């Protein structure tokens, strides 16, 4: 297999075309906007196959073919009403085997925001891609800084071979979705314990918030379920600088099969071979940009990469 | 004066409205796109007052009022032809006192790219805002990391009171535009010597490339010359970690009047009082995000801030 460039890796995670892209018309032209109950905000994008199903639910949604929009019906005018309606529907679909993606049912609620920063409703995690809703995660890379004798090294887990999504692929040291009603850093601390056995006190003291990435993912079958659902994502990024004598991360809940302490060169090789889960490749590339490993001098597509890792999502956000 | 929030500070640098903004129609509706000679790329946006001037130059530009576009005439089909035409025109305008912004003539060429990464033409620096062209800079913040007894401290220069642009305002430790034909890091090394007296060897060894910011600035009179010109900008960011015993930066070429070693709290206070030059406030906020000083927990507008600091500029880039 030819080696993937950094830009090709970014394009695997930020896979929905931009309006200026020649693919945009064919891939985005048939999509419908999923609107808030007041029709003022675009919460996500819907595939025509989903619109056909919503069309029959006249009590719940208002479909306008003229302008390719589907709104939540105006009577769903509270967080509680919207959350109940959306989750009841997801449960019916699950029982009817309507969508393969719901086989990954998590019994975990994700928050949807509108206006920005204000909770609009909550929805079962596995149902969010059906509506193209923005979801959020916290990712951390634990690393041992470069020394006179060695390059910077990073702790890279391999996902369990039995996971339904991206089995056996490489990942960020710790990564997890931000469920309702948890905060960003609280989620990170929890995931650090569950996935890697990190002491919460170590994380509270040493994990450093370093920004976030955002991108527009088009789901493939490797994500579990149908291909083509749109999944705009924001990942809050953290660095954990440790020494080689720090207690290493350990598989705890079985999400990770093993943790490897690899130097930059080895990580770049595994990236180029396509062995990382797409969005964790993107987060790793962001780490390399922030740590002066990928620079304007050594990366010909530097600005396209940094721009696409910070895609402006045109939806209300957390 | 009420204190400025971080989001308000970002909005001073990223001041051109987004298409979803209610100001967009009034502020962007009358603008013309400045197109490449093949009419395939939007290089920038033009004010109607500039279009009226270009309209009379029928040998040089093709104005289409129907779709609000102005193209470089198709016969300018080489870098050399375009560069000569554009710079000759700027010089004529300068001699005719056509634009106040040309009073800041720099005798420094800026590179314009199209397709991305490929030189399309060069143009005198002070003329770029007339055509709304993307310009590039390199900014560095020198800092002393936090210790047990002290918070992180940063070297903050005050601009000379005699500078024509933003006199006496606060700035990043080193900041300079990237002229043709210089590279990003080469420019940084040069500016570090000229503005702050940093040893080139120190910069080569210790300055760390940490990413870039991008934003869409609408010029005010503080920038020198006319208000309203559009100035999309990319700044490549560098961190220089030093100790309190390192030789301090020194005013060399008179750009800076003094350098202050201030802790985070003092810098935040000066930011909130609007004492930083707008784009250097943005770069400072990016530094705070990357260093875990501004976090999702303490900044309610976190995602709007990080998104706007990485605005996706819809033009071909370096």
Per-residue pLDDT tens digits for A7-28: 999 999 999 999 888 889 888 8
**What average pLDDT score do residues A199-203 get?**
97
Domains of chain B from N-terminus onward: 6-11+135-309 (3.90.79.10), 31-131 (3.30.750.160)
Most B CBs within 10 Å, among A41, A240, A295, to test the B interface? A295
Rounded Cα gap, residues B203 and A292, in angstroms: 13
Q: How high is the pLDDT of residue A208?
A: 98
Q: Is the pLDDT of residue A1 over 80?
A: no
What does the alpha-carbon distance between residue B155 and residue B267 come to, in Å, rounded to a whole number?
A: 10
CA distance B34 to B71: 6
- Residue-wise pLDDT for A304-317, tens only, equals 999 999 999 999 99
Name the residue with tokens 């048939």: A30
Rounded percentage of chain A residues whose pLDDT exceeds 70: 100
Closest CA to B249 of B182, B202, B209: B202
Please, which residues bridge with residue B260 across strands?
B156
From the CB of residue A58, how many other CB atoms can be counted at a distance below 10 Å? 10
Mean pLDDT of chain A: 96
Q: What is the pLDDT of residue B224?
A: 86
pLDDT at res. B292: 98
Least CB–CB distance from A292: residue in B18, B209, B292: B209
The per-residue pLDDT for B25 is 87
pLDDT tens digits, residue range B207-236?
Answer: 999 999 999 999 998 888 899 999 999 999
Burial category of A117 from C-beta neighbours within 10 Å (exposed 0-12, middle 13-18, buried 19 and up)? middle
Q: At B89, is the pLDDT very low, low, confident or very high (cuts 50, 70, 90)? A: very high
DSSP state of A223: G
A84-143: pLDDT as tens digits: 999 999 999 999 999 999 999 999 999 999 999 999 999 999 999 999 999 999 999 999
Q: Is the CB of A296 less than 8 angstroms away from the CB of B234?
A: no
The whole-number average pLDDT for the span A199-223 is 95
Kindly indicate the confidence band of residue B167, based on its pLDDT and cuts at 50, 70 and 90: very high
- In this complex, do B303 and A314 lie within 8 Å of one another by their Cβ atoms? no
Gap between the Cα atoms of A161 and A257, Å rounded:
8
What pLDDT, on the 0 to 100 scale, is given for residue B240? 98
DSSP A29: T
How many residue pairs bridge chain A and chain B with CB atoms within 8 Å of each other?
93
Q: What angle do CA B301, B303, B305 make, to 5 degrees?
A: 65
Contacts of B304 in chain A (CB under 8 A): 116, 317
Q: Is the model's pLDDT at B68 over the cut of 90?
A: yes
What value of ipTM does the predicted structure carry? 0.96
How many residues would you count in chain A? 318
Report DSSP state, residue A16: S
Q: Which residues, including other chains, have CB under 8 Å from residue A11's CB and lie 6 or more apart?
A: A308
Cβ of A209 and B296 within 8 Å? yes
pLDDT tens profile A271-282: 999 999 999 999
Measured distance CA(A14)–CA(A7) in Å, rounded: 10
Termini Cα distance of chain A: 39
Question: Is the per-residue pLDDT at B316 higher than 80?
Answer: yes
**Pair A146, A246: CB distance under 8 Å:** no
Q: Are strands A61-64 and A69-72 parallel, antiparallel or unpaired?
A: antiparallel
* Beta carbons within 10 angstroms of residue A317's beta carbon: 20
Chain A: which residues have CB within 8 Å of chain B? 18, 20, 116-117, 183-185, 208-212, 214, 234, 236, 289-292, 295-297, 300-304, 306-307, 310-314, 317-318
Residue among A208, A300, A317 minimizing CB distance to B303:
A317
Do the Cβ atoms of B318 and A312 come within 8 Å?
no
In this predicted structure, what is the pLDDT of residue A20?
82
What is residue A296's DSSP assignment?
T
User: What is the average per-residue pLDDT within A263-274?
Assistant: 98
**What are the pLDDT digits (tens) for B2-60?**
899 999 999 999 999 998 888 898 888 999 999 999 999 999 999 999 999 999 999 99
3-state secondary structure B118-133: CEEEEEEHHHHHHHCC
Mean local confidence (pLDDT), A174-202: 97
Two structure tokens written together for B129: 């805002």
Question: In 3D, which of A203, A196, A198, A231 has the Cα closest to residue A217?
Answer: A231
Bridge partners (DSSP) of residue A35 are: A42, A71
Distance, in Å, from the CA atom of B38 to the CA atom of B72, rounded to the nearest integer, reads 8
Token couple for B168: 């006496």
């Amino acid at each position: 297999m030819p080696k993937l460039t950094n830009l090709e890796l970014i394009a695997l995670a930020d896979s929905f075309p931009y309006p200026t892209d020649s693919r945009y018309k064919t891939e985005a032209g048939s999509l419908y906007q999923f609107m808030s109950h007041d029709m003022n905000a675009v919460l996500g994008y819907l595939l025509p196959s989903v619109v056909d199903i919503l069309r029959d639910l006249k009590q719940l949604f208002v479909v306008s073919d003229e302008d390719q929009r589907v709104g939540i019906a105006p009577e769903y005018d509270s967080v509680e009403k919207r959350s109940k309606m959306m989750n009841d529907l997801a449960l019916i679909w699950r029982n009817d085997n309507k969508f393969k993606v719901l086989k990954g049912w998590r019994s975990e609620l994700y928050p949807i925001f509108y206006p920005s920063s204000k909770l609009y409703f909550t929805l079962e995690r596995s149902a969010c891609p059906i509506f193209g809703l923005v979801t959020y995660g916290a990712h951390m890379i634990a690393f041992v800084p470069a020394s006179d004798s060695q390059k910077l090294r990073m702790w890279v887990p391999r996902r369990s071979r039995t996971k339904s999504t991206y089995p056996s692929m490489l990942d960020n040291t710790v990564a997890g979705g931000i469920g309702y009603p948890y905060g960003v850093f609280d989620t990170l601390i929890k995931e650090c314990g569950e996935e890697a056995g990190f002491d919460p006190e170590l994380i509270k003291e040493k994990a450093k918030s370093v920004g976030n990435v955002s991108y527009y993912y088009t789901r493939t079958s490797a994500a579990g379920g149908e291909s083509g659902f749109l999944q705009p994502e924001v990942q809050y990024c953290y660095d954990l600088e440790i020494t080689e004598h720090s207690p290493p991360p350990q598989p705890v809940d079985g999400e990770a099969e093993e943790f490897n302490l690899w130097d930059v060169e080895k990580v770049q090789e595994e990236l180029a071979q396509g062995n990382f889960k797409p969005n964790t490749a993107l987060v790793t590339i962001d780490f390399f940009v922030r740590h002066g490993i990928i620079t304007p001098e050594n990366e010909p597509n530097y600005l396209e990469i940094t721009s696409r890792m910070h895609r402006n999502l045109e939806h209300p956000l957390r």
